[in-house]
Chain A
Amino acid sequence: MREGQGLFWKLDGISIGLFLLLVFLGWMNIHSAAYQPENEKFWSMDSEYGKQLLWIGSSMFILLFILLLDGRVYERIAYPVYALSLLALAGVLIFGSTISGARSWYTFGGFSLQPSEFVKCSTALALAKLFSKESSKDGMGARSRWLAFALIALPILLILPQPDLGSALVFLAFLFVLYREGMSITVLLGPIGIGILFVLTLLLNKVWVILGMVVLALGMAYSSRRRPRFWLRPLLMAIMGLGVVLSVDYAFNEVLEDRHRNRIDILLGKAEDPKGIGYNTQQSLIAIGSGGLSGKGFLQGTQTRYDFVPEQTTDFIFCTVGEEWGFLGSSLVVLLFTALLFRLIFLAERQKSRFSRAYGYGVAAILFLHFAVNIAMTVGLAPVIGIPLPFFSYGGSSLWGFTLLLFIFLRLDAYRVLIL
């Protein structure tokens, strides 16, 4: 246990500091959002802030357990854990209980667990394991490419039928890992491009979008000024784009459900309905917007405390930050998240093993997607997709999941010195 003695000194203090700060700020805001002034009790263990404290306490145990475990074990158990987690996902479709319309939960007595929160971690481990087998430092073989896509696709396919579009969407974060581990930037830009095309097609006349694409493709082909075989890429892009444009109607009308369609319509300004579907977004904007520069102060937010904001302790917890701490407080939270993400990428890059690096990217990417989608939703830049803000939102499964995810990486990072 030579390395164990210095373990805590080798752990990344900055990441842990940011983690603890975010958890603390999150808990404070849950307290504020759930605080009932008429109860007059400042403290109640039955309230959400009381329960969250239990979740925080228990995640400290998880954290300690992870730190005490040998770092090498994760690489060894990655595949079995992945397989087990997929089984749990399959099981929840049969044995799970339904909470707010989605069969995503295992209920044991008084409390519930959401397996999809843990699958994020196991998928990150499995992907890392996959790339650790590659011989080169950065590249990947054709077989690995397909396997990687399959590892990401399997949990998505199991989560979609719950149905939980938000959680499924999170798995797209692993495209960052694929990009870092050898795939071209297209793996990132592709989905973004498809997203942009999707929105443009919904907003504009299809003919104009197609025309624009054709012009763009011709322009690219012309500007390359090379031999015709280099025109292949613009041509392929144009054909794929055409496919996307033509399938938008089908996807929008047949694949998406009503609530998704409505949310998208409202976000695009095609429909207005402040009392109905758009109510959540509207109230969220009001809460955040009314915060001003420095906010209304702790426990002084009217919009969240008086329940105008829906899901105020979970998906819309950022509203409380915006309302009570204003522009200064909410910017600080955004900066803290960004700092943590930067730090994680920095740590990932300094890993000597490819397993650790790939896993590190996985952690950063998952946290980033949650953060980006959640904040974008609360500030009205994305349709309402119910995913939690890491470390902030009320809920045991997500806090446990994120703690697990992060601290396995910090344990790996602390262990890196032992790898030559």
Chain B
Amino acid sequence: MNKALIVFLFFGLTCALFIGRLFDLQILDDKYTLYANENVIRKERIYAPRGHIYDRNGKLLVSNIPAYDLMVTPAKTAAFDTVFLARLSSVAPSDLRFQLKKARRYSSYRPSAVIRQISARSFGSLQEHLHRFPGFYMQKRAQRSYAHAGAAHALGYIGEVTEGFARKNVRYRMGDLHGVSGIEKAYEEQLRGRSGARYIMVDVHNREQNTFAEGAYDTLAAPGMDIRSTLDIDLQLLGEELMTNKRGSIVAIEPNSGEILALISSPTFDPARMVGRKRSAEYTRLLQDSLNKPLFDRAVLAEYPPGSPFKLINALIGLQEQVIRPSSSFSCRNGFHAKGLHVACHCGTDRPVALRLSISKSCNNYYCQVFKKIVDKYPSAQEGLDVWSTHVRSFGLGDFLNNDLPTGRRGFVPNADYYDQALGYTGWGATTTISLGIGQGELVLTPIQMANMSAAIANRGHYFTPHIVKLIGNEANEKFLEKKPTSIDPKHFDEVIEGMYEVFETGTARAARHDSIAMCGKTGTAQNPHGQDHSIFIAFAPKEDPKIALSIIVENGYWGSRWAAPIASLMMEHYLTGEIGRTALKERMIQGDLRAEYGLLATEENQQ
């Protein structure tokens, strides 16, 4: 019996050992429950559909179509056939390897996208074989879809977040999409929505088996908000068409609200090409087009000397500073002459020129005189110029507009300090800076600033910050309701506006006159150091209660009356009447081709 006892003891101890071990594993140690969940539970993000973008009349501009991303969690992968996977998803094996390396570098345990924007067609075959590739899964995403091949710059596009961005912003992961430019960037917060999560159980082959806890922990995605932009897509498309084969910009604003009706930069591109897997190739192609610079948003980023339209501002400052009255006249003897300085003039009059005529004929001498009087009114030229500069800036010029566009430029409105430093002495006078009188010299403005200037004149002395979004969801965009007064008394505007009316009636833009619409405008032919003069025009209409104000720049288009004025006239006609009666003029503008001019420019640049 002694031996039997030993055997009993042996068996009993083994039993006790096992029960002890089970107690340790199942009761004391929690980590296995965690590991088990890690094994079977996969958190899947449900991407919030990005908000749609509409135009001011509710026409759909940007929406979503489905696409898929192939995701990988590097720690969960086993050895697999890279070449086969690459073939299934129709990418080059080297690209796939590179993306896998990038994913590993980003994180072994967090999923990142290796192949993006897979079409519904390749999705099928890939999904079928996916069980052979543990650690990989398909993530439903969306692609942007554009209803019109226009407004590319204004709408902007979306792109993947970079590695660095994802590291800094916890709400984004590698491969996530976010707005890179335009409205997409400015209203990223509202458009993106909030992604939800779904917890599903998977088997060892990573095949979906069931929901976890019957979806108790799942959260719904909150879709992004729809945005109604201020753009009028028909006007926008017309503007882009009119700018065919011409470089430059059109900006149209509704004066009594500051809403941007059209924001055109030419040459442009089809936004639909900046979508999906061909995006980066397309982007590179556009980026490398150094002659046309299609990615460069001229409407808000290009700075031009405003030229003659700026004379309107000088006229208003002169009236405000009481150095001229509407009846004040200056005789133009082929320009302005002072101490070895000569500013030529083409107004072609030999009688004294008063305010209205100075606008309609764009007399250089008149404005050199006015500018000199403004500056000379004060004890020193410094003081005089600073007063002038302050008036100019009150039109929203020379500084950022601080609006809802993600980019912009200040432009440049010089003050006394600038000349003190630039010239290196303080003894300069009005004549030194006389070209400011005709909108040339150091002065530069962006097209949107010029359009805003036009709107401020149309409003007789105030403006609203130009902005691109009208409604966010159903809420009005209330950030830009503040009326911004200029430093010019409203009573001075009527005379200037009469002059602008005469520009169309009898002046430089009479060829662009419309029979039934009272249009006001000012031509410009801005000298530029790179070649032929820029054709510039600012305008608004109708004269009483203006509905649209705009600025137009056609680079190297020579006279303002040649391209800019007719295009402005057509834009206003279309916006105010809904159609264009002057089809011949429209055709002529569309056919207008300045590529030769730019080709010449290009060779000149190459020679330098």
**Pair count A-B, CB < 8 A:** 116
Does A335 lie within 8 Å of B15, measured CB to CB?
yes
Whether, in the assembled complex, A366 has its beta carbon less than 8 Å from a beta carbon of chain B, the answer is no
Query: Which residue of B has the minimal Cβ distance to A349?
Result: B4
For A361, what are the chain B residues with a Cβ–Cβ distance below 8 Å?
7
Nearest Cβ on chain B to A272's Cβ, whole angstroms:
14
By size class, the interface of chain B is 35 or more
Does A287 lie within 8 Å of B11, measured CB to CB?
no
Mark B1-45 against chain A: 1 for CB-CB distance below 8 A, else 0: 101101110111011011101110111010111011101100000
| Chain A, range 297-329, C-beta contacts under 8 Å to B | 302-303, 305-308, 322-323, 326-327
Does B40 lie within 8 Å of A302, measured CB to CB?
yes
Q: Please tell me which one of the listed residues B14, B27, B209 contacts residue A38 in the complex, with CB atoms under 8 A apart.
A: B209
Q: Check A308/B40 contact, CB under 8 A, given A302-B201, A338-B12, A379-B18.
A: yes
Which of A207-215, A253-261, A288-296 forms part of the interface with chain B? A288-296
| Chain B, range 196-226, C-beta contacts under 8 Å to A | 201-205, 209-210
Q: Please tell me which one of the listed residues B8, B11, B29, B39 contacts residue A308 in the complex, with CB atoms under 8 A apart.
A: B39
Does A327 lie within 8 Å of B32, measured CB to CB?
no
Nearest Cβ on chain A to B577's Cβ, whole angstroms:
65
For B40, what are the chain A residues with a Cβ–Cβ distance below 8 Å?
302-303, 306, 308
Does A286 lie within 8 Å of B14, measured CB to CB?
no
Nearest Cβ on chain B to A307's Cβ, whole angstroms:
4
For B204, what are the chain A residues with a Cβ–Cβ distance below 8 Å?
306-308
Does B36 lie within 8 Å of A307, measured CB to CB?
no
Does A372 lie within 8 Å of B14, measured CB to CB?
yes
A231 to B17, CA, bound (A): 34
A305 to B36, CA, bound (A): 12
A339 to B19, CA, bound (A): 14
Mark A366-380 against chain B: 1 for CB-CB distance below 8 A, else 0: 001000100110011
Does B7 lie within 8 Å of A286, measured CB to CB?
no
Query: Which residue of A has the minimal Cβ distance to B23?
Result: A327
Whether, in the assembled complex, B338 has its beta carbon less than 8 Å from a beta carbon of chain A, the answer is no
Whether, in the assembled complex, B78 has its beta carbon less than 8 Å from a beta carbon of chain A, the answer is yes
Whether, in the assembled complex, A91 has its beta carbon less than 8 Å from a beta carbon of chain B, the answer is no
Nearest Cβ on chain B to A33's Cβ, whole angstroms:
13
Nearest Cβ on chain A to B29's Cβ, whole angstroms:
6
| Chain A, range 124-156, C-beta contacts under 8 Å to B | none
Does A345 lie within 8 Å of B36, measured CB to CB?
no
Q: Check A289/B29 contact, CB under 8 A, given A331-B19, A342-B11, A345-B11.
A: yes
Query: Which residue of A has the minimal Cβ distance to B26?
Result: A327
Does A330 lie within 8 Å of B11, measured CB to CB?
no
Query: Which residue of B has the minimal Cβ distance to A302?
Result: B40
Does B25 lie within 8 Å of A289, measured CB to CB?
yes
Does B202 lie within 8 Å of A306, measured CB to CB?
yes
For A345, what are the chain B residues with a Cβ–Cβ distance below 8 Å?
4, 7-8, 11
Does A338 lie within 8 Å of B15, measured CB to CB?
yes
Does A327 lie within 8 Å of B202, measured CB to CB?
no
For A37, what are the chain B residues with a Cβ–Cβ distance below 8 Å?
209-210
For B36, what are the chain A residues with a Cβ–Cβ distance below 8 Å?
286-287, 289-290, 302-303, 323
Does A288 lie within 8 Å of B3, measured CB to CB?
no
For A330, what are the chain B residues with a Cβ–Cβ distance below 8 Å?
22, 26
Does B209 lie within 8 Å of A306, measured CB to CB?
yes
For A335, what are the chain B residues with a Cβ–Cβ distance below 8 Å?
15, 19
A307 to B204, CA, bound (A): 6
Does A379 lie within 8 Å of B6, measured CB to CB?
no
For B37, what are the chain A residues with a Cβ–Cβ distance below 8 Å?
290
Q: Please tell me which one of the listed residues B11, B26, B78, B203 contacts residue A288 in the complex, with CB atoms under 8 A apart.
A: B26
Does B14 lie within 8 Å of A368, measured CB to CB?
yes
For B205, what are the chain A residues with a Cβ–Cβ distance below 8 Å?
307
A380 to B8, CA, bound (A): 24
A283 to B35, CA, bound (A): 9
A135 to B328, CA, bound (A): 149
Whether, in the assembled complex, A72 has its beta carbon less than 8 Å from a beta carbon of chain B, the answer is no
Q: Please tell me which one of the listed residues B6, B7, B33 contacts residue A290 in the complex, with CB atoms under 8 A apart.
A: B33
Does B7 lie within 8 Å of A180, measured CB to CB?
yes
Does B39 lie within 8 Å of A286, measured CB to CB?
yes
Nearest Cβ on chain B to A36's Cβ, whole angstroms:
10
Does B26 lie within 8 Å of A292, measured CB to CB?
yes
| Residue among B35, B37, B205 having the largest count of chain A Cβ atoms under 10 Å | B35
Q: Check A334/B22 contact, CB under 8 A, given A303-B40, A327-B27.
A: yes
Does A289 lie within 8 Å of B26, measured CB to CB?
yes
Nearest Cβ on chain A to B27's Cβ, whole angstroms:
6
Whether, in the assembled complex, A160 has its beta carbon less than 8 Å from a beta carbon of chain B, the answer is no
Whether, in the assembled complex, A2 has its beta carbon less than 8 Å from a beta carbon of chain B, the answer is no
For A305, what are the chain B residues with a Cβ–Cβ distance below 8 Å?
203
A380 to B22, CA, bound (A): 10
| Chain B, range 27-74, C-beta contacts under 8 Å to A | 27, 29, 31-33, 35-37, 39-40
Does B7 lie within 8 Å of A176, measured CB to CB?
yes
Nearest Cβ on chain B to A172's Cβ, whole angstroms:
13
Whether, in the assembled complex, A41 has its beta carbon less than 8 Å from a beta carbon of chain B, the answer is no
Query: Which residue of A has the minimal Cβ distance to B210?
Result: A37
Nearest Cβ on chain A to B42's Cβ, whole angstroms:
11
Whether, in the assembled complex, A179 has its beta carbon less than 8 Å from a beta carbon of chain B, the answer is yes
Q: Please tell me which one of the listed residues A188, A291, A302, A368 contacts residue B11 in the complex, with CB atoms under 8 A apart.
A: A368
Query: Which residue of A has the minimal Cβ distance to B201?
Result: A302
A331 to B8, CA, bound (A): 18
| Chain B, range 250-272, C-beta contacts under 8 Å to A | none
For A375, what are the chain B residues with a Cβ–Cβ distance below 8 Å?
18
Query: Which residue of B has the minimal Cβ distance to A176?
Result: B7
Q: Please tell me which one of the listed residues B6, B7, B201 contacts residue A306 in the complex, with CB atoms under 8 A apart.
A: B201
A38 to B207, CA, bound (A): 12
| Residue among B12, B29, B39 having the largest count of chain A Cβ atoms under 10 Å | B39
Does A322 lie within 8 Å of B11, measured CB to CB?
no
For A372, what are the chain B residues with a Cβ–Cβ distance below 8 Å?
14
Whether, in the assembled complex, A227 has its beta carbon less than 8 Å from a beta carbon of chain B, the answer is no
For A197, what are the chain B residues with a Cβ–Cβ distance below 8 Å?
none
For A266, what are the chain B residues with a Cβ–Cβ distance below 8 Å?
none
Whether, in the assembled complex, A86 has its beta carbon less than 8 Å from a beta carbon of chain B, the answer is no
For A326, what are the chain B residues with a Cβ–Cβ distance below 8 Å?
26
What are 11 A-to-B residue pairs whose CB atoms are below 8 Å?
Answer: A275-B78, A286-B36, A288-B25, A288-B32, A302-B39, A303-B36, A306-B40, A307-B203, A327-B26, A335-B15, A338-B14
- Smallest CB-CB A-B distances: 10 pairs: A289-B32, A290-B36, A306-B203, A338-B15, A327-B26, A307-B204, A289-B25, A302-B40, A286-B35, A290-B33
What would 10 more interface pairs be, CB under 8 Å, given A180-B4, A293-B26, A368-B11? A176-B7, A180-B7, A289-B26, A289-B36, A291-B26, A306-B203, A322-B22, A322-B25, A341-B11, A379-B18
